[in-house]
Amino acid sequence: MKYTADLKKTVAFNNKTTHCVGTGRMDLALHKEYLDQLKLTQDEIGFSYIRGHGLFSKYMGIYREFRHMEGKAEYCFTYLDMVMDSYLEMNIRPILELGFMPDDLASGTETTFFWKGKISPPKDYKKWTDLVQATLRHLIERYGIDEIRNWPVEVWNEPNLPSFWKDADMDEYFKLYELTSRAVKEVDAQIRVGGPAICGVDDERWLKAFLDFVKEKNLPMDFVSRHHYTSYMPRLDGHYAYIDLHEPENAFKWLERSRDIVDSYDEFKGMEIFITEFNTSYVPNAPIHDTVLNATYVAHMLSRLGDKHESYSYWTFGDLFEEFGVPFTPFHGGFGLVADGLIKKPTFYTFAFYKKLQGDCLLRGEDAIVVKAENGDIRGLVWNADLYNEDKNKEIEIDIESLEDGEYFMIEKFVDENHANPLKMWHEMGEPASMNNEQKNLLRAAAEPGIESSNKIVKDGKLSLAFNLNPNELRYFEIKKIKRTSDTGYDYEAVIAQKCVPDENQA
């Protein structure tokens, strides 16, 4: 590919990469490993929001009815405080997904996941809205109303699937949405609420029906939410799920359909859409997530998802996650950007690199993005997504124009089969389930990206860059103008020219 980027011309690019990230169920946020993984993520990427399930599930301990007190409902916010304190300390705040049903409030016994989230409607809707309101009021008392107005509230998760909402009963969900959205606004009119958080394959039926319902009842709705996964049904083998990926363009089309539906309503035209979950595969035992292909495939997605969405939340930041039970090995196809043991996976860098692509966009192509940052640096990302396993290198040339003449410092960081790919090394180690510290440290070192640097001279405003990318390579670059000021007597050429001299030759 051959591109030109001109500092005098900008193109559209709505980079919301770090708006939100997914997480395992909320009480896992009490775990040390979870918090360590989140800290690593926040230190190097820094998401604004975090969204996951389980706010009201059993082990958060919020809702209890006590038999010896005639079934009196009591609210316990001990763990909620711990979790939210931890989040705020790490400068991240929740999108509050309301769900699943507290054990003591569920009308049925149906559950989802290893950890048995209850998926039936409340046995008493009044008790449910009381719970929602009590929770919000507690949060307001602890963190202040200004803070809570920044925490979007999403009603339930994937009600269009029977595994998450009993019988995927649409009318029951609409009832839940109606009562819940009104209860939220009763607490404070500025708290934002949305739904329907559908898994994203049911637009025509569910999304339309939902919007019709909201419109008809004139319900509060501040954003629309859906999910987005781009794999076919997996093939199972033992503990693992192997997948085929959809071709990227196909996947983008599904999303456009949602946007079109929303925009077809005068009332909702242009309303913010939150993709509150996305990833390649939708199961937490899909080894695709650990690969360099995942990193470049997602790089491609991130170049476009902002076009029609205000948020797209990668599912999930870390591998401390228990939907299918406790993983048997550190690399087990978990959703996380970070593997257990604090080992960054290739896709971690997709986000770390995109995070830097803020500023005026100069170029956005199939496999390249270039921006001019606020401080004047030129930053870019190029990638070679080996979608069809062809194992070919790719040449990318980028001419950058209208630069200030002079000397520049160029730094490149890259991920490929042999860099920032700890899965490969873990395989070579013999795929150990139980690792010692030496192994973990080695994998952490192997998880760092390659790094290269050079000087570039710009003349007549122009700089030509040529990249030869390995299969599934993801390469970030940064170009900074420098002011060279050598210290008195320092001469780098002389430094590296020093050598051995035989006695007879020495002056």
Q: Among residues 15, 18, 20, which one has the least CA distance to residue 274?
A: 20
Nearer to a second copy, 112 or 276 (CB): 112
Q: Does 473 bind a second copy (CB under 8 A)?
A: no
The smaller minimum CB distance to a second copy, of residues 201 and 425, is found at 425
- CB-nearer residue toward a second copy: 77 or 274: 77
In the complex, minimum distance from the CB of residue 127 to a second copy, in angstroms, rounded to a whole number: 17
Sole binder of a second copy in the list 69, 88, 145, 466 (CB under 8 A): 69
Closest CB to a second copy among 110 and 340? 340
365 exposure class (CB count in 10 Å sphere: 0-12, 13-18, 19+) = middle
Number of residues that bind a second copy (CB under 8 A): 104
Binding mask 327-366 for a second copy (x = CB under 8 A): xxxx-x-------x--------------------------
Nearer to a second copy, 173 or 297 (CB): 297
Q: Per CB under 8 A, does 190 bind a second copy?
A: no
* 3 state DSSP class of 110: coil
Alpha carbons 60 and 105: distance in angstroms, whole number: 14
Is 158 a residue of the active site?
Answer: yes
Please choose, out of 2-10, 168-176, 197-205, 326-334, the segment that lies near a second copy by the rule CB under 8 A: 326-334
Nearest CB to a second copy, comparing residues 330 and 336: 330
Smallest gap from residue 187 Cβ to a second copy (A):
17
Cis previous bond, 100, omega within 30 = yes
Is the Cβ of residue 14 or residue 393 nearer to a second copy in the bound state? 393
Tokens representing 496 are 């590296």
CB of 379 to a second copy, least distance (A): 13
Q: Could you say which of 158, 412, 473, 478 is catalytic?
A: 158
415-434 positions binding a second copy, by CB under 8 A:
418, 423-425, 427-434
Q: Which of 146, 216, 237, 266 binds a second copy (CB under 8 A)?
A: 237
Binding to a second copy in span 270-299, by CB under 8 A: 287-288, 290-291, 293, 297
Contact code string over 365-404 relative to a second copy, x by CB under 8 A: ---------------------xxxx---------------
Cβ proximity of 313 and 49 under 8 Å: yes
Q: Which of 172, 322, 360, 401 binds a second copy (CB under 8 A)?
A: 322
Q: Is 404 assigned a catalytic role?
A: no
CB of residue 35 to a second copy, shortest distance in Å = 6
Closest among 255, 245, 250, 326 to 284, alpha carbons compared: 326
Region for residue 168 given its phi and psi (left: phi exceeds 0; alpha: psi -120 to 50; beta: otherwise): left
- Helix residue spans in 167-247 (DSSP H): 170-187, 208-217
Q: Does 31 bind a second copy (CB under 8 A)?
A: yes
- Residue 351: strand, helix, or coil: helix
CA–CA separation, 192 and 180 (whole Å): 12
Q: Which of 277, 323, 473, 478 is catalytic?
A: 277
CA-based angle 346:246:316, to the nearest 5?
40
Name which of residues 109 to 138 contact a second copy (CB under 8 A).
Answer: 138
Query: Scanning residues 217 to 236, which ones bind a second copy (CB under 8 A)?
Result: 232, 236
Which stretch, 90-98, 163-171, 343-351, 489-497, contacts a second copy (CB under 8 A)? 489-497
Phi, then psi, of 411 in degrees rounded to 5? -120, 135
The owner of tokens 């319902």 is 213
Compare residues 254 and 265 and give the one whose CB is closer to a second copy.
254
> Which of 359, 371, 360, 358 has the alpha carbon at shortest distance from 398?
371
- Let me know: does 419 contact 452? Beta carbons within 8 Å: no
Q: What are phi and psi of 223, to 5 degrees?
A: -160, 160
Stretch that binds a second copy, among 198-206, 221-229, 262-270, 449-457 (CB under 8 A): 449-457
User: How far from each other are the two terminal CA atoms of the chain, in whole angstroms?
Assistant: 55
Sequential DSSP letters for 394-424: EEEEEEEESPPSEEEEEEEEEEBTTBS-HHH
Least Å distance between CB 100 and a second copy?
17
Encoded amino acid at 452, one letter: E
Interface with a second copy includes 457 (CB under 8 A)?
Answer: no
Q: Return the residue of 14, 325, 395, 402 that touches a second copy, per CB under 8 A.
A: 325
Q: Give the whole-angstrom CA distance, residue 129 versus residue 120.
A: 15
Which residues 33-62 are close enough to bind a second copy by CB under 8 A?
33, 35, 59-61
205 CB-near residues (< 8 Å, 6+ apart): 160
Q: Minimum distance from CB of 433 to a second copy (Å)?
A: 6
Q: Which of 283, 261, 96 is nearest to 195 (CA)?
A: 96
44 versus 222: smaller Cβ distance to a second copy: 44
Nearer CB in complex with a second copy: 218/506: 506
| Binding status of residue 146 toward a second copy by CB under 8 A | no
Q: Which of 123, 127, 137, 142 binds a second copy (CB under 8 A)?
A: 142
Q: In what order do the strands lie in the sheet with 450-458?
A: 360-364, 368-372, 378-383, 474-481, 406-415, 450-458
Q: Which residues are catalytic?
A: 158, 277
